[in-house]
Amino acid sequence: MTDRKSDQASLAAGQPDPTAGSDEVEVIEGGEITISPDHLQWKDRHESETAKVLAYVLVGTMIGSLVLHYAAVVVLMLYEKRDAVDVLTDVFDKWLPVISSFVGGAVTYYLTRRKG
């Protein structure tokens, strides 16, 4: 017991640990790890806010692409560029299902997410 106290005193004085090479390891109890209720509330609030922003951005992107497409078609028709209208329509026909599926998923998640 006395040796243990002298070892602790030498460690406190800044001397190297004499038992560093031995198999005995001193375990330091760090306490219990818990997740606070504040953290869970922040996480739920953050997920809700992200879902809302994502849904609004995707809906805005879809509306913007619709408006841009129709405006471009009108301008191209006024300049009698029928070939360009066909190409633009073909691109839009491929773009619309992609953006509408993103919008559908985001809006569905936003409307059905767990209420806290």
Alpha-carbon dihedral of residues 41, 46, 51, 53, nearest 10 degrees? 140
- 24: in domain: no
- 11: in domain: no
- 90: in domain: yes
- 22: in domain: no
**Residues with Cβ < 8 Å from 59, sequence gap 6 or more?**
103, 106, 107
What residues make up the domain containing 74? 58-116
Which amino acid belongs to residue 72?
A
Tens-digit pLDDT profile for residues 41-81: 777 788 888 888 999 999 999 999 999 999 999 999 999 99
- Quickly state the pLDDT bin for 82 (edges 50, 70, 90): very high
Which tokens hold the place of 97? Answer: 């299902």
- 51: in domain: no
- 25: in domain: no
- The domain total for the chain is 1
- Cα→Cα distances 112→101, 105, 108, Å: 16, 11, 6
pLDDT value of residue 17: 57
What is the chain's mean pLDDT, rounded? 82
